[in-house]
Amino acid sequence: MLASIPSATLHGVDGRAVSVEVHVSGGLPGFTVVGLPDAAVRESRDRVRAALSSSGLEWPRHRITVNLAPSGTRKGGSGLDLPIAVGVLVPDGSLPRACVEDTACIGELGLDGSLRSVPGIVPMVAALRCSRVVVPAECVSDARLVGGHEVRAAASLGGLVHALRGEGPWAEARSVDTERAVLPLIPDLADVRGQTVGRRALEVAAAGGHHLLLVGPPGSGKTMLAHRLPGLLPPLGQDEALEVTRIHSAAGIALVGGALAERPPFRAPHHSATEVSLIGGGTAWLRPGEISLAHGGVLFLDELGEFPAVALDMLRQPLEEGVVRIRRARRAVDLPARFLLVGAMNPCPCGEGSVPGACRCTDAARARYARRLSAPLLDRFDLALSLGRPDVDDLLGGPRGESSASVAERVRFTRVIAATRGVRCNAEIAPESLDEFAPLSPDAAALLERRLRAGALSARGLHRVRRVARTLGDLDGTGELIGARQMVEALHLRDAGCTRPAGSSS
Amino acid sequence: MRSVDDLADDERFAAAIAALGAGPVRTRRFLEGFDPVTAWEALAAGRHPGDPDRHYQSKARPALLESVGACCTRNGVAVRLFGRPGYPATLAGDHEAPGVLFTLGDPSVLDTSPRVAIVGTRSATPYGLSVASELGRGLAEAGVVVVSGLARGIDSAAHAGALAVAGGSAPVAVLGTAPDAAVHRAEAQLKQAIAEKGAVLSERAPGSSGTPVWCFAVRNRMLAALAHVVVVVECHRKGGSLNTVKAASDRGVTVAAVPGSVRSSASAGCNALLVDGATPVRDVQDVLAAVELAITGLPGIVPPRTPPRASPDRAAAARAPSPMAARTLRALDHDPASLDTVVRRCALPLADVAEALEQLAAAGLATGSGGWWSRSNR
C-alpha cells in the first residue's frame, strides 16, 4: 500500500529532488506528514483533503502517512501539494500505479481542486531525474526552458487524474498574460543631452564591467544616466541566460514572456532595503537577495548614502568574488552575485557639497554623511564621477546625443576583445595577469608612481585603474600597450572617489 | 615671563568661576569689584556674589576648583584677570571685555603691533583659501599681527600663511572652544605653532566639555575688539563672519572685504558688504593702507612696513606647456568647474582634456579636487 512520487523543493536558487512517499495502512483514519515539513507543507494536508473531495475523488478511510525523503533536510513551499494528492490516490487504486510511472509532480492545490503556479519552477524541474513532469498550466513555458523532460500541463486535479488514466486530454499550456510578455522599454542614451563625461563613463562601465559611482547635486542626471546602462550591455550568453532565469524563477519573479532572460537584469532597490533583502537569506527558504537578482546585470543603488551602512559593507565580499556565501546554523547556500554596481549619491546632505564653497551643511552633518560609505567600499568603485548640473543651453537646444545602439556596438566589440583574454569583461582580469594584458608604457608607469607616492591611490585602486585604462585602450583601439593618455583619462574618471565626498578635510 | 606652573590663589578661583559655564556678562559681574576667593565662597554657599541676599544655584564645588586648576597647570594655560597686570590692555578697553582670559603663549604682542582680523567661511573655495593665505603671509611680512578664529577654511589658511613667514609678526588665535579642547590633528598642530610664536586666547575654561554655539558668537566680538581692521575673505550670504562684521562696526573698526565672483555663493556675503560700503581688498597693500588709516593717532603702535607693490602682470609669467593645455587653460576659471564643464568648454575629447589638466596641474597653473577644476592663483 505504498506510492512514491518524485517532486522537488527550492534551496536558495537550486532545486532539490524530493521523493514524496505515501503509505496507506489499516487502523484509525488519520493523515500525518513527516520529513521536516515547514508550515506551508503541513498546511497542505488540509488543502489536499479539500481538493480531493472538490474533485469528486474519494478520500481513503485509512491511516495515511506521508514522508518527504530525504527526511533530514527541511522542506518548504506549497509545490508539494500535487505530489501528495497524487500519492494518496495511488495505493487504494484510484490511480493505477502504471499511470504515474516515472512521473514527477509540482504544484499548489486550491480548495476547489484547481492548480496554482509556484515560484522556482525552473531550478526545481532542473533537479528532477524522471522523464515526465506535470506542472501547473501557467508554468509549462518556464518548465520547458530546462529541456530534457516531457512537460505536461494540469489545470485541475480532476483533469489531471483523467489525463493520467488516459481517459481525457491533457490541459493546454496556458500562455502568460500579454502584459507580462511585453519587454519593458529601456530608455535610450540619445535622450541625455550634454554630459560628455557622464556618457563616456557609462560607456566605459558597460564595456569593461566597471563599477560606477556618480556623485552630484540633485538634478544633475545621475539616475537618468544609470537607467540607460542596461541598454548598452550586450545580451546574455546561453549559460548566463539559464543561470539568470534560474535565479529569477527561484525568487518568484515572472519571467518575461515565459522565455529565457535575454537582457541583463536591472535591479534598483529602494534605500530602505534591509540587509537580508539585499544580500539574500530569510527564514522559509534562503531566498536570493537583490545582488543575486542583479546577477549578470546591473545593481543600481540610488541615494547610496541613505542605505544602511551595514548593508553596504556587506556588498564588499560579493563585489570581489561574484558569489555570496550565505551561512545559517542549519542551512548553507552559495548564491551567484556577479553584478555591475552603479551607485548614485549627493556629495552631502544639502546636495551642493561638490561645488567648492557652495555647501551650507554643518561639519557634523557632513562628517556623518561621509561616514556612511566606508573607504573600502569607495575603493571598489573603478569609476567615480563628480557630476555638475547640466548646461542650460545643452538642456534646451543641445543636439541629441549618440544613441544607445551605436554605443552598444562599441561595447560589444570590447567584450569580444576581453573574451580573447579569457574573461567576460576587463574588470575580471586577475591582478597577476595585468602585466600580461595591460602592460604599461614608461609614461603611464611614471604617472602611476607619482599618484602612488602622493598617497592618492591604494594598491586595490592601482589594479582597478589599470583595468579601466585597459578598457579605454580597447575602446579607442590603441593596441596592447597602455599609454599615458589612457592612464590619465582612467585616473580622471575616478577622481571623485579619491577625495571623500566632503567633510573630513582640515 | 611668569611661570604658569603655580597659579596664584585668585587666579585659581577666577578660573573656576569662569568654568561654571555662565555667559561672559554674568561671569564678569561675578568678579567685578570682588576678590575672586570671596566671590567663589559666595557662589559655593549658593549666593550671588554681588547680592548676598539673593539665592544663586551654581555648580561651584571644591572638585571643580581642583580640576580646573590642574587642567590649567597641565596644559600650560595662563589665567589673566580683567583689571590685573598681564591682561591685554587692548582688550581691557573694550566694553564687553571678558572677565577671565585663558591664554597659551605670550599675548603682549597685541599691545604694540597693528592687528588685522582675517575671517571667513569654513567651506571656502580654493580661491578664498589662496587669498586668505596670501594676505596672512603679506601681513606677517609687514609686521602686522594676524588675528583669526582658527576655524577650518579661511581662518586656518590665513594663519598658515602668517606662520609660513620666517621672522614675521606673531599670530594670535581667538578660540570659541576651551584652549585645551580636542580638535583634529591638523588644527592641533596649527594651534601649537601659533602658541609657540604668538598667542592663543579663549574665555572658555580648560576642561569644559562641549562648546555651545553661543561661544563662537561671543568669540567673534573678541576678534572685532582686538582688530584695527577686519578683513572678510569669503563669506556666505548669512555667514557667521557677518557676526564679526557687526561687532566691528559697533566698535568703529574698519571692515574690509575681498570681492569674489558674483556667481560664487561663498562670496555672496563679501560682495554684499562691498555694496554696503566696506573697503575693497585686492591684495595686502589695500589692507595695509586701511591699517595705516586706522592706527593714525594711536600711540604705541608700530606702523606696518609697506612692501613695494608687486608687478601687475603675473599672468604673463604663466606659460601653458602645450597648445592643448593652453586651450584647456582658457576654458578654466577661478571658480571651480566640473570636469564635464571643462570638456564642454574645450570641445575636445575627454582624454585630451585629462592630459592637458595633468600638465597644467604639474605646472601649477590649475588645481583640481574631487573632479572640480579651477585656475591656480599664480
* Lowest mean pLDDT segment, chosen from A31-45, A65-79, A105-119, A345-359: A345-359
Cα dihedral B14, B18, B24, B27 sign: negative
Question: What is the rounded CA–CA span in Å between residue B156 and residue B152?
Answer: 6
Centre a 10 Å sphere on the Cβ of residue B222 and count the other Cβ atoms it contains. Answer: 27
- CATH fold label, B112-176+211-295: Rossmann fold (3.40.50)
Q: What is the mean pLDDT of residues A331-359?
A: 83
* Contact criterion met (CB < 8 Å) for A499 and B184: no
pLDDT in tens, B184-213: 778 888 999 999 999 999 988 888 777 788
Helix runs in A157-295, H state only: 157-165, 178-181, 196-208, 222-227, 238-250, 275-279, 290-293
Whether the predicted pLDDT of A505 surpasses 70: no
Q: Kindly tell me if the per-residue pLDDT of B317 is higher than 70.
A: no
> A193: nearest CA in chain B?
B344
| Residue-level pLDDT at B309 | 64
pLDDT digits (tens, 9 = 90+) for A414-425: 999 999 988 889
What is the per-residue pLDDT for A179? 46
* Cβ atoms A40, A78 nearer than 8 A: yes
pLDDT, tens digit (0-9, with 9 covering 90-100), for A180-224 = 555 667 888 888 888 888 999 999 999 999 999 998 888 888 899
Percent of chain B with pLDDT over 90: 28
Q: How confident is the model at residue A504 (pLDDT cuts 50, 70, 90)?
A: very low
Residue B275 belongs to what H/E stretch?
A: helix B268-275
Q: How many residues does chain A have?
A: 506
- Stretch B238-264: mean pLDDT: 91
* Averaged pLDDT for residues B105-118: 89
**What percent of chain A has a predicted confidence (pLDDT) above 70?**
93
Q: Which residues of B touch A (CB under 8 A)?
A: 121-126, 128, 152, 156, 184, 186-187, 234, 236, 264-267, 336-341, 343-344, 350-351, 354-355, 357-358, 368-372, 374
Per-residue pLDDT, averaged over B22-32, amounts to 81
B224: confidence class by pLDDT, cuts 50, 70, 90: very high
Say if residue B138's pLDDT is above 80. Answer: yes
Predicted confidence at residue A498, as pLDDT, reads: 45
pLDDT tens-digit series, residues A165-188: 989 899 888 766 544 555 667 888
- Between β-strands B229-232 and B115-119, what pairing exists: parallel, antiparallel or unpaired? parallel
What does the pLDDT look like over B45-94, one tens digit per residue? 888 877 777 887 777 788 888 888 888 888 888 888 888 888 888 888 88
Topology of domain B315-375 in CATH is Arc Repressor Mutant, subunit A (1.10.10)
Beta-sheet pairing, A266-267 with A132-136: unpaired
Would you say residue B174 has pLDDT above 60? Answer: yes
CB atoms B184 and A358 under 8 Å: no
- As a whole-number percent, the residues of chain A with pLDDT over 90 amount to 33
The lowest-confidence range among A28-32, A392-396, B128-132 is A392-396
Identify all chain B residues contacting A472, using CB atoms and an 8 Å cutoff: 351
Which domains are delineated in chain A? 2-175 (3.30.230.10), 189-422 (3.40.50.300)
Q: In this structure, which long-range contacts are made by residues B181-190, counting pairs with CB atoms below 8 Å and at least 24 apart in sequence?
A: B181/B208, B181/B211, B184/A506, B186/A506, B186/B156, B187/A506, B187/B150, B187/B152, B187/B156, B190/B150, B190/B156, B190/B159, B190/B160, B190/B163
Residue A390 reports pLDDT greater than 80: no
Residue B80 cell numbers, joined: 589673566
DSSP single-letter state for residue A431: G
Q: What is the pLDDT of residues A83-100, one digit of tens each?
A: 999 999 998 888 898 888
Q: Quick one: pLDDT at residue A183?
A: 61
Reported confidence tier of residue B218, pLDDT bands at 50, 70, 90:
confident
Q: Do B372 and A354 touch (CB under 8 A)?
A: yes
pLDDT at res. A200: 92
What's the pLDDT tens digit per position in B277-307? 999 999 899 999 999 888 887 777 788 887 7
Dump pLDDT digits (tens) for A439-488.
999 989 998 888 888 777 888 888 999 999 999 999 988 888 898 889 99
pLDDT tops 80 at residue B229: yes
Amino acid at B65: L
pLDDT band at B3 (very low <50, low <70, confident <90, very high): very low
Least confident of A331-340, A388-397, B230-239, B253-262: A388-397
CB contact under 8 A, A359 and B236: no
Mean pLDDT of the A348-375 span: 76
Q: Is the pLDDT of residue A52 over 70?
A: yes
- Cα–Cα distance between A302 and B170 in angstroms, integer? 51
Residues of A in contact with B234 (CB under 8 A): 357
Contact status, residue A142 vs residue A260, Cβ threshold 8 Å? no
- Distance between CA atoms of A57 and A94, rounded to whole angstroms? 8
Three state DSSP letters for A249-275? HHCCCCCHHHCCCCCCCEECCCCCCCH
Instruction: Give chain A's contact residues with B (Cβ, < 8 Å).
Output: 194-198, 200, 215, 347, 352, 354-360, 363, 385-388, 391, 394, 447, 472, 476, 484-486, 488-489, 491-493, 495-496, 498-499, 501, 505-506
* Domain ranges across chain B: 112-176+211-295, 315-375
| Distance, CA of B143 to CA of B301 (rounded, Å) | 11
In this chain, the answer to whether the domains covering B112-176+211-295 and B315-375 adopt an identical fold is: no
Q: Which burial class, exposed, middle or buried, applies to A479 when counting CB atoms under 10 A from its CB (0-12, 13-18, 19+)?
A: exposed
Instruction: Place B308 in a pLDDT band, splitting at 50, 70 and 90.
Output: low
Report the pLDDT value the prediction gives residue A160, as an integer from 0 to 100: 92
Q: Which residues of B touch A392 (CB under 8 A)?
A: none
Four-point Cα dihedral B161, B165, B170, B171, nearest 10: 10
Q: Is the pLDDT of residue B6 over 80?
A: no
Cell matching residue A463: 589594479
> In whole numbers, what is the pLDDT of chain A averaged over residues?
86
Which of A225-229, A322-326, B29-33, B143-147 comes out lowest in average pLDDT?
Answer: B29-33
Do A354 and B338 count as a contact with CB atoms less than 8 A apart?
Answer: yes
Report yes or no on whether pTM surpasses 0.80. Answer: no
Please, what is the average pLDDT of chain B? 85
